[in-house]
Structure 1
Amino acid sequence: MAQRDSRGASTPQGRTNDIVATEKERFGGIKWGSAFFGWLTAIGMTVLLSALATAIGVGVGAANSTNVNQAADQASKNAQTLGVASGIILAIILFLAYYCGGYVAGRMARFDGARQGLAVWLWGIIVAVIVAILATVAGSQFNILGNLNGAPQIPVDGSLLTVSGIIGLVIALIVPLLGAILGGKAGMHFHRKVDRAAVERRTDVVD
């Protein structure tokens, strides 16, 4: 039978909670280094997924187009639909990319997965602000995020004043935040499974 430890926990889950609480007290909190690597992962996934989506779109368009004039007519008729579809695809790409980034940060930091995901998102905002300032002062050629489809960036040319600009900014801010937080929690959850396995093993040995 499992013995009660010095803090009163008498079950493997109770002992796991005690151990995690002690470790979190000492090693918890936002780990900005882990979050930075998570952000790099998110940017890399954004590039890869955007390229994949573009390739699929080009392939589908080529398969469905019989001639240039017909393709142009079809595009003009479905412009609004394509805009909505593009927004949905962008949201999916950002969610998946930042979910991966949050997961990496959560796995590296072990604790406070939601905070690690938030830090990944904050890195994206910090870099976007720096790039926007640099582009304003030194020229648009320094807007390095402009070449990354879907990468969160702060418009400096007034495009934010349009309805589509506002919707795009909301997608670029809220969706990555949700993805990063959920990814961070998932990455942290892996370590909780490891902690439980270690405690259960120790309990079997004691028994």
Structure 2
Amino acid sequence: MESTESTPEGAEQFWERHYRTHRDWGTRVNPLLAETAAPLLPGTALDLGCGAGGDAVWLARQGWHVTAVDISGTAVERLRERARDLGVAERITAQQHDLAVGVPAGRFDLVSAQYFHTPFPLLRTHVLRAAARSLRPGGLLLIVDHGSTAPWSWNQDPDVHHPTPEEVAADLALDPTCWPVLRAEAARRTATGPAGETATVVDNVLLVQSTAGLLRPATTGTE
């Protein structure tokens, strides 16, 4: 059950400590995002909880214009630095933003929520539902959640429940005639932790699309 409280004092400090401790954490693109976005024509993207910006940088290098937000100022500044170093700063708007107070304004072709979990109270379903409503016609909402606990996870509670993609979709309660589910599955992969250790993990993948049109694959030609 979700809390009805706003993100309390302490959430920003928690994530600040996380990104200061794990300097290289979050600088690689998440593979399921790359798999989903690679065949699409670049457009506008919203990266929820962008961390150090591996996803945002990858998208920008593919030609996307990305709004990337995170509660951690350290993570946001690190993303800005990498974007400048890699020559994609003009394609990335990186903002320190508490999603407990709302989703950034705008219309997007892709919204990415990669491992959008926190130990603090957050109306996660409310945020994701608002993100779905910010999609342009044909836009995609990609939610990738932890389906298992990695050895390096900050949450080592043995009793934690990892909601299935079907449970996440049910909680979102989006009208399926307007936001049909394109993909809902558990995917296994070998992941690498912040110290270079590896483990087999499960990702719960939910892909939802706005039905007012379709994003065309890059192979179909130009607009």
TM-score (norm 2): 0.24
Q: Per chain length, whose mean CA-contact separation is higher, i.e. which structure has more relative contact order (CA < 8 Å, sep 6+)? A: 1
Higher strand share goes to which structure? 2
Higher helix share goes to which structure? 1
Larger Rg: 1
TM-score (norm 1): 0.25
